[in-house]
């Protein structure tokens, strides 16, 4: 009975799932920076989140697609929750119902 040898692990290789999570985390961070740099967009998203949190989240996901920074709703929520930024935490608290 012969078995195929397992391929040797490459030193420093990142598992595929981790690479994917890292890329999407990077996308969420980059998208957050792009949105934060546009004060009128930031304010519009905040106002929308107060009235329609799910819609605001969908809008953020669409913005990511348009900017070539695809993210999921879950990635956006995780990124905002992980921030050490008072204004973002306030947004998250205000919009918690839809997030």
Q: List pLDDT tens digits, range 62-99.
A: 999 999 999 999 999 889 888 887 777 676 676 665 54
pTM attached to this predicted model = 0.69
Domain regions of the chain by residue span: 18-95
Radius of gyration of the chain (CA): 18
Structure-token match 């799932």, residue found: 17
Buried b (16+ CB within 10 A) or exposed e, 12-36: eeeeeeeeeeeebeebbbebbeebe
Contacts of 61 (CB under 8 A, 6+ apart): 71, 72, 73, 76
Structure-token match 């998250």, residue found: 92
Q: List pLDDT tens digits, range 5-44.
A: 544 444 444 333 433 456 668 999 999 999 999 999 999 9
Mean pLDDT rounded to a whole number for the chain: 77
- For residue 8, what are the CA distances in angstroms to 4, 5, 16, 19, 95? 12, 9, 15, 19, 47
């Amino acid at each position: 009975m012969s078995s195929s040898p397992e391929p040797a692990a490459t030193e420093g290789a990142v598992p595929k799932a981790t690479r994917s999570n890292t890329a999407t985390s990077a996308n969420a961070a980059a998208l957050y920076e792009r949105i934060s740099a546009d004060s009128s967009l930031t304010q519009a998203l905040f106002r929308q989140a107060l009235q329609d949190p799910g819609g605001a989240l969908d809008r953020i996901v669409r913005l990511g697609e348009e900017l070539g920074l695809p993210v999921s709703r879950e990635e956006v929520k995780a990124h905002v929750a992980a921030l050490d930024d008072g204004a973002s935490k306030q947004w998250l608290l205000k919009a918690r119902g839809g997030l």
